[in-house]
Amino acid sequence: MLIKTKIPDFTLRFATEMDVPLILQFIKELADYEKLLHEVKADESILLDSLFRRKSAEVIIGEFNDQPVAFALFFNNFSTFLGKPGIYLEDLYVNPDYRGYGFGKTMLSYLSKLTIERNCGRFEWWCLDWNVKSIDFYKSCGAEAMDEYTVYRLTGEKLKMLAQEF
């Protein structure tokens, strides 16, 4: 199902299993932009299982003139304070050749609408501190930085070490 936007010839659609190679391509392009390509471990089989078998996340593809130019990957989190789920945006990526046309803002706008339609309490994401263009873009959309929070993460061996203590 195509979702029409206010931008002529720019549509959104939810990804299908056939989009897994495209999703992986977008993930790698974003990781390369963020200087984190070396950290990408995902492959097509992992994405197929995570996105379409386990349904751990959802993906929206942005198409301009029927060509994929952007994607957003998101999933539900939960706010104990609100007592409601939220939508967490893991990745938003617009191909560099198509930036500045409003595609990213349109995708954020749609996800905001989806957050409301699904009766979620909030819409959140992270942004790298050095990515000033993205920070300025998010602020222009009305987003506020949550500077009083610090993200913590366990992965790999450190995750296994803590799990073994149980």
Cβ neighbours of 159 (radius 10 Å):
11
List beta partners, residue 3: 12
Which residue from 92, 82, 127 is spatially nearest to 112, judged by alpha carbons?
Answer: 92
What single-letter amino acid sits at 105? K
φ, ψ (nearest 5 deg) of residue 154: -120, 130
Cα–chain center distance at 71: 7
Q: How far is CA 159 from CA 41, 57, 90, 155, 165, in A?
A: 16, 22, 20, 5, 10
What single-letter amino acid sits at 56? S
Judge whether 21 and 48 are in contact, CB under 8 Å. no
Q: Which of 98, 101, 138, 152 is catalytic?
A: 138
Q: Catalytic site residue 93? A: no
* Residues classed as catalytic: 138
